[in-house]
Amino acid sequence: MADAWSNQIAPAYHAGLGYALLRPSRTPAGLIGEQLGSGIGSSVEFMDYREYTPGDDLRRVDWSVYGRTDRLVVKLHREEVTPHLDILIDASRSMALTGSDKPAAALGLAAALSASADNARWARRLYAVGEQNFQVPGGEGDPAGWAWPGFDGRQPLGLTPVTAGLKLRRRGVRVLISDLLFDGDPWPIVSRLAEGASALFVVQLLASHDADPPWNGDLRLVDSENGTLREIRLDTSARERYLQRLTTLKQQWSAACRRVDGRLIELIAEDLTDGWDLRPLVECELLRLS
């Protein structure tokens, strides 16, 4: 990635190596793998017996029990799983706000989460979502090799179904990174992301000017996504209305996340890139110290 904001990838990944993803209570499974889950599967750890039924794998029959009792029973073992992390980054233009650290923070946060996944021996994938949804080439490997397409989406997140065209891993952990600065009911997005997942985290990543705008006087505003120009006068009253709308937006997203046992995490881009302190993600039970 040649863009100026890609220089945060390496320090963010390094910071993430001090953490590991925290395993959710619902097993993030889908494929046979290394770690033990909560269900019945094919690991070596014996759990119980059940009666044989036609179609069961004969290799699971305990022939020693049959020899003693004439009963055909099947051994049940604890499930082995490959935990998986899907990272979805909002690729709309608002995420590349001029003069802010939002683009660097978004990709850096994805790199830090990737390091934490590697530490915990989880598989992972990176997706760009918004106007178009697709898996980022190289997103399963070293973040330095990610072929990130840029933040060029002209439509806000949600106009295209956020999971359309994506093959998200069932029972995986999903993390959406977006500023969430668009109108609309968050429930369709949250419900789609939560479907089939073991855990969902929505990260609202704001620039410092998003969270605390230094507005005053006559301003010429350009919509970062569709290029619309608007001249307005902003005063203290307008600023307060904006902040109230931002608070309402956060409440709506938080309520939608709670409906699916998900978590809304609020981060400021400039705070994040200033040293990559990931402790807020530990407090929200996404990460743990490794």
> What is the tens place of the pLDDT at every residue in 266-287?
999 999 999 999 999 999 999 9
Output Rg (C-alpha) for the chain, integer angstroms.
Answer: 23
Query: Whose CA is closest to 207, among 271, 144, 163?
Result: 271
Per residue in 50-86, pLDDT (tens digit) is 777 776 778 878 888 888 888 888 776 544 446 899 9
Give residue 62's pLDDT: 87
Q: Helix, strand or coil for residue 77? A: strand
Measure the CA angle with vertex 167, ends 194 and 177; round to 5°: 55
Position 133 pLDDT exceeds 50: yes
Q: Side chain identity at 165, as an amino acid letter?
A: G
Structure tokens at 263: 């978590």
pLDDT at position 70 is 87
**Low-confidence winner among 41-55, 90-104, 169-183, 227-241 (lowest mean pLDDT):** 41-55
The whole-angstrom separation of Cα 263 and Cα 174 is 11
For the chain, list the domains and their CATH numbers. 4-23+84-289 (3.40.50), 35-81 (no CATH)
pLDDT at 31: 38
Distances (CA, A) of 287 to 16, 173, 240, 251, 272: 9, 12, 34, 23, 15
For the ranges 95-109, 118-132, 231-245, the lowest mean pLDDT is seen at: 231-245
Query: What's the whole-number average pLDDT of the chain?
Result: 84
Q: For position 99, what pLDDT does the model report?
A: 87
Confidence of residue 46 (pLDDT cuts 50, 70, 90): low
**DSSP code for 145:** G
* pLDDT score of 197 more than 80: yes
By the 8 A CB rule, do 175 and 286 touch?
Answer: yes
Who contacts 78 (Cβ-Cβ below 8 Å, separation ≥6)?
36, 37, 39, 40, 41, 43, 45, 47
Q: pTM of the entire structure?
A: 0.78
The answer, yes or no, to whether residue 164 has pLDDT greater than 70, is yes
**Mean predicted confidence (pLDDT) in 77-100:** 81
CA-CA distance, 13 to 279, in Å (whole number)?
15
